[in-house]
Structure formats: C-alpha cells, structure tokens
Amino acid sequence: MPVPKPKIRYGRWMLLLLVILPVAFWYFASPVVAVNFSPNSKEEFRYVWNTQDRIHRGDIRHGGSAVEFSYIFPDKDFFMMFDWSTDKGFKRCIDITPKWGSTIDIYLDDIGRIDTAKTAPDVIARLKRCVGRPDPFRP
C-alpha cells in the first residue's frame, strides 16, 4: 500500500517571513547611541536621554553605559540630546546626530568630559554642544 507524500505548505512559511523580516529590519537598522562611562571615575552620574518625544532618566556608576535607540526614519525636527551631571554641580549636554543602521559609541573620561582619545573622530563630528550649556569636551 503506497504511503502518501506529505504536502509541504510554503504559504505558511512565506507568511511567517513576511511578518518577521520587517520587525528584524526595524531592529537591526535602528541607530543606537551608547554613552560609556570611565571605569576610573569616582562620581556617580545622573543622565537624561531626550529623544524627540521620549525622555529616559537614570543613574550610572563607573564602568557603566547608557544606551538609547534612535528613530529609524527621523523627520526634519528630530533631535537627540544626552544630559549628564553629578551631585557636585558638574553638568554637561550633547546634541547627537545618529547614523542610520549603526551604533555610535561615545566615551566619557573619569571626570565626565567626552574622551576624544577613545571616541572615534567620525563620532565626534556627530556631536554638538547644547545651546547655552558648558562645553562637554572641556573641564
């Protein structure tokens, strides 16, 4: 007695791929910005991510990182700002222009300035000082 061959149903697999691929593209193509704090710092920093209509606050100790996902298709009014400070009055802010489909790593030195030796030059070109705030590259 012949055994019938099972029918392979490609339609279900295609539907599954049509659902999963856009989500995977959105996840992997979204720009990511990571601010890495020096493991030698003695202060605890407080930070605020302000990305257009999202605000995240947090505390970070030495050696930690603060990470934010950007918009995959930003409009002309898009902005991303990162503020960090200590309890002793040190305050800095940068305006960041994320790069589509990649991760931007920003490194801070032990007193909280942007470490230009560790941060790549093309990343530094994407950073601007916030208007009316102290220069994040200087003490």
Spatial neighbors of 92 by CB under 8 A, at least 6 apart, are 83, 84, 85, 112, 113, 133, 134, 136
How many angstroms separate the CA atoms of 85 and 58, rounded?
Answer: 11
The secondary structure element, H or E, covering residue 11 is helix 10-29
Per-residue pLDDT of the chain (139 residues; tens, 9 = 90+): 677 766 667 788 888 888 999 888 888 888 899 999 999 888 889 999 999 889 999 998 888 999 998 888 878 888 899 999 988 888 999 999 888 888 899 999 888 889 999 999 999 999 999 888 888 877 6
In angstroms, the Cα distances linking 131 to 15, 77, 93, 94, 135 are 49, 16, 9, 9, 10
How many angstroms separate the CA atoms of 85 and 75, rounded?
Answer: 29
Q: Which residue has the tokens 């902005």?
A: 79
Q: Determine whether 133 is exposed, middle or buried from the number of CB atoms within 10 Å of its CB (0-12, 13-18, 19+).
A: middle
Give the tokens for residue 133. Answer: 């705030």
Domains of the chain (ranges, CATH numbers): 31-129 (2.60.40)
